[in-house]
Chains A and B, each alone.
Chain A
Amino acid sequence: MKEGEKRCWQCQTESLGLWCPACGALQPCSDDPFRCFDLDDRIQIDLESLRSRFHALSRQFHPDFFQQKSPDAQAVSLSNSATLNAAYRTLKEPISRATYLIRLVAGTEEVKTEPPAELFAEIFDLEEALEVVADGSGGDGDRATLVAARERFRARAEAMQREMAALFTEWDGLLLDRSRSWTTAQQACVARLRQTLSHRGYLARMLHRITEAIG
């Protein structure tokens, strides 16, 4: 078979859509969430239309409607439904959409959570304060350190939320077509997106720990 050529698993007719034009068999859908939903690689999407698309595709794929079909057709339906549900989960949240695109552009690496460079200096003191407050040996000073840090971190997290929104808009504006041969501008955008996500994750975790320690 030639590259890009797709044939129906059942009757071998050339078939590019979800349904074979010759025998009417359901074809395997794409593993890629954006392709599965037939969407451009945008981070900002309309949730209501995503949802109705999810429902429409569920009605096409669900194993309930293939119970009377052949075992092979049932297998395609099961696999498509599983893929669709996983895709919907990825597309429902902006962060998971962005994370998916980062992996697509930057390879398969995970997005690790790391502290922003400007916070390196205070992290050491903060960790110490967290420790003593948690085991009950801390004084009012340690508590005050945490309260102050929480204020700063919250403000920082809010700013980061705005940065991220701006990056989402920037990414969406850089989209040209569906080819996925990424431009330098796109790669640079994703690199910043990745860093912001990583910092955001770190801040969220620290805020959670501080709140647990001081209530």
Chain B
Amino acid sequence: MIVGIDLGTTNSLVAYIDDSTPRVVTDADGVAMVPSVVAFEGGRIIVGAEAKRDRVARADRTVTSIKRFMGRSLDEVRQAQKWIPFRLSGGAVIQIEVDGATYTPPAISAMILKALKERAEAALGVAVTQAVITVPAYFNDAQRQATKDAGRIAGLSVPRVVNEPTAAALAYGLQKKKEGTIAVYDLGGGTFDLSILRIKDGLFEVLATHGDTELGGDDFDRRIMAQMIDAISRQFGPDAVSDPALLQAMYAAAEAAKCRLSAEQSADLLISQGEIQYAGVITRSAFEASIADLIARTLDACRQACADASILPTAVDEVVLVGGSTRIPAVRQAVADFFKKRPHCDLNPDEVVALGAAVQADILSGGTTDLLLLDVTPLSLGIETMGGVVSLLIARNTTIPTQAKESFTTYADGQRSVSIHVVQGERELVKECRSLNHFHLTGIDPMPAGMARIEVTFLINADGILHVTAKELRSGKAQSVEVTPSYGLADHEVEAMIAASIEHAKADMTARLLIEARNEATTVLRHAEAGLVNGKDLLKVLEIEKIGQAIAALRTAMAGSEPHPIRERLGELDDATRHLAEMLMDRALQTSLQNRRVDAL
């Protein structure tokens, strides 16, 4: 069974196909969404609703919105530091410092994936080892790779990463049996995508996609927080707002207010955190004014996608809204005005992506054969040429899988290797694009300059991830290609994290055994102490002393963090109280016999 997972910025879901119908997996309370929040508590990892609920209490040990750091370097996210209560370090791969340890974004995402995996296993009663995971359509190569790495760390093989708006279209098209041109406007917790698709006879062809991987509900929350930060730092000084607990409390208050404003005209903002008391109000119109520029940015992306698809916004047959942020009335209005039609929001915008991922999973496992998704690569791919200029290899919105071939030669006699710098982005200069990888073609036979003819194939697979192969045309010999990723994790680093996650699983297990041992010890202690009081007259002084010592030893063991000593002391107390237990049992038996005799009389 391959499940479908929507690994979201604020919430994640897992879905599967049940008798050819996609369904989300819910918990005992019928809740499908798992907050993408991870907390650390003395070696224990807490994921989901509990972690979110206690975010203020565990302010500096709670990680939220990890998706925004996936596949990014520290330089790219430096400005985010002031908004988050944990420290970022590292370089090409970000390290998150929390509770005395460091974690990479894929390792944290893996904790969320693992929770979803366990949830699915509990619901389905089978082991889940494969998952289709969705990513924002505008995710670049490194962000996609980081998502696959997270799956591997969580013990899931990821046969495909699927673009979120495309997955939504798949679920939507399937459910509504729609044909024609549809636009999917997907505004989630941290990312925005707009995809335009044509659906015909079960074939979902993406014509164009555009987006912004740093634009979503989180940014709306921050606009509300800015108002609180302003007021609080005026009253309590600028240092006050860097307190992690206050930051978490402000986030929670801003998010709650934002949600309320979708239904009401104003919402209270109440903060009570230690010394700091804040009571404010935000009106819907003030909120909408504060996010107007962000909504305008989404419309720019819509315009670009329509241009790339060579279609007028008014010619789109249907507009589908996806993602929690599309509940904001101003967003709906802006979309309706842009496409000149009422957007569809009759599918649950929180669940539709996971449902589509489950459909794609079913296609991959051979269950569904009449549907096919043809997706595109969101960003242009180019190589660095003389003077730092980008030479285009594969244009954005090209249907994937796709490939481009390019010939390279040597410029010096006897040159043994050639380096190729691949970049992703829409700008003409290398420095304005995102460096993807440096590929080194090595082992070229020595020959005069310009004689070698190395044909390099740049292939973007169905995940939207680049693979490079090369061969020397004269000899037909395949060249070895060495890859130095500019960003992302090397294979051995992922392996190390898988190992670490197994270590973590051990730590998780230890934590659970500890809790169980402590619970049992508490019960046994209560019985032993009661027995001592009741049976004092039955025992010799030496025996009472021995039991007292065993009780003290168990209490000491319970204060420790290892389950094993507790178990041993429990055994010793059990031995020490055996005689007492027997005597008490005898007495109880005799009493009951006496009672019966009385009854019989």
Which A residues, 72 to 87, have Cβ-Cβ distances below 8 Å to chain B?
Answer: 78-79, 81-83, 85-86
Which B residues, 192 to 221, have Cβ-Cβ distances below 8 Å to chain A?
Answer: 200-201, 203, 205
Number of A-B residue pairs having CB atoms within 8 Å of each other in the complex: 59
State the CA gap A62–B160 with chains docked (Å). 13
**Size of interface on B: residues with Cβ below 8 Å to A:** 26
Q: What residue in chain B is nearest A59 (Cβ atoms)?
A: B372
Among A58, A64, A79, A86, chain B packs the most CB atoms within 10 A around the CB of A64
Q: Let me know if A85 and B372 touch, CB within 8 A.
A: no
State the CA gap A78–B59 with chains docked (Å). 47
Contacts of B373 in A (CB 8 A): 64
Q: Let me know if B404 and A86 touch, CB within 8 A.
A: yes
Which B residues, 416 to 434, have Cβ-Cβ distances below 8 Å to chain A?
Answer: none
CB < 8 Å neighbour of B374 from A58, A82, A86: A58
Q: What residue in chain B is nearest A62 (Cβ atoms)?
A: B372
State the CA gap A58–B160 with chains docked (Å). 17
Q: Let me know if B365 and A67 touch, CB within 8 A.
A: yes
Q: Let me know if B372 and A64 touch, CB within 8 A.
A: yes
Q: How close is B406's CB to chain A, nearest CB, in angstroms?
A: 13
Chain A, interface SS category = helix
Q: How close is B468's CB to chain A, nearest CB, in angstroms?
A: 13
The answer to whether A179 has its CB under 8 Å from any CB of chain B is no
Q: Let me know if B369 and A63 touch, CB within 8 A.
A: no
Which A residues, 16 to 58, have Cβ-Cβ distances below 8 Å to chain B?
Answer: 55, 58
Q: Let me know if A67 and B404 touch, CB within 8 A.
A: no
Q: Given contacts A64-B363, A64-B373, A78-B459, are A58 and B203 in contact (CB under 8 A)?
A: yes
Q: Given contacts A64-B462, A78-B459, A86-B404, are A59 and B399 in contact (CB under 8 A)?
A: no
Contacts of B365 in A (CB 8 A): 67-68
State the CA gap A55–B373 with chains docked (Å). 11
Q: Given contacts A55-B203, A83-B403, A85-B401, are A65 and B159 in contact (CB under 8 A)?
A: no
Contacts of B366 in A (CB 8 A): 65, 67-68
State the CA gap A78–B459 with chains docked (Å). 9
The answer to whether B461 has its CB under 8 Å from any CB of chain A is yes
Taken residue by residue from 366 to 381, chain B's Cβ proximity to chain A (1 for < 8 Å, 0 otherwise) reads as: 1001001110000000
The answer to whether B364 has its CB under 8 Å from any CB of chain A is yes
Which B residues, 399 to 456, have Cβ-Cβ distances below 8 Å to chain A?
Answer: 399-404
Q: Let me know if A78 and B372 touch, CB within 8 A.
A: no
State the CA gap A179–B343 with chains docked (Å). 53
Q: Let me know if B372 and A82 touch, CB within 8 A.
A: no
Contacts of B402 in A (CB 8 A): 82, 85-86, 89
Contacts of A9 in B (CB 8 A): none
The answer to whether A88 has its CB under 8 Å from any CB of chain B is yes
The answer to whether B129 has its CB under 8 Å from any CB of chain A is no
Q: Let me know if B363 and A89 touch, CB within 8 A.
A: no
Q: Given contacts A68-B365, A68-B366, are A78 and B203 in contact (CB under 8 A)?
A: no
Contacts of A79 in B (CB 8 A): 403, 459
Q: Let me know if B399 and A63 touch, CB within 8 A.
A: no
Q: How close is B554's CB to chain A, nearest CB, in angstroms?
A: 55
Q: Let me know if A65 and B461 touch, CB within 8 A.
A: no
State the CA gap A62–B204 with chains docked (Å). 13
State the CA gap A79–B365 with chains docked (Å). 20
Q: How close is A126's CB to chain B, nearest CB, in angstroms?
A: 25
Q: Let me know if A85 and B398 touch, CB within 8 A.
A: yes
Taken residue by residue from 135 to 159, chain A's Cβ proximity to chain B (1 for < 8 Å, 0 otherwise) reads as: 0000000000000000000000000
Q: How close is B352's CB to chain A, nearest CB, in angstroms?
A: 20
State the CA gap A78–B372 with chains docked (Å). 15
Q: 6 pairs across A/B with beta carbons < 8 Å?
A: A58-B203, A64-B360, A67-B365, A78-B401, A78-B461, A78-B462
7 pairs of A and B residues whose beta carbons are closest in the complex: A82-B403, A82-B401, A67-B364, A85-B399, A81-B401, A85-B402, A63-B462
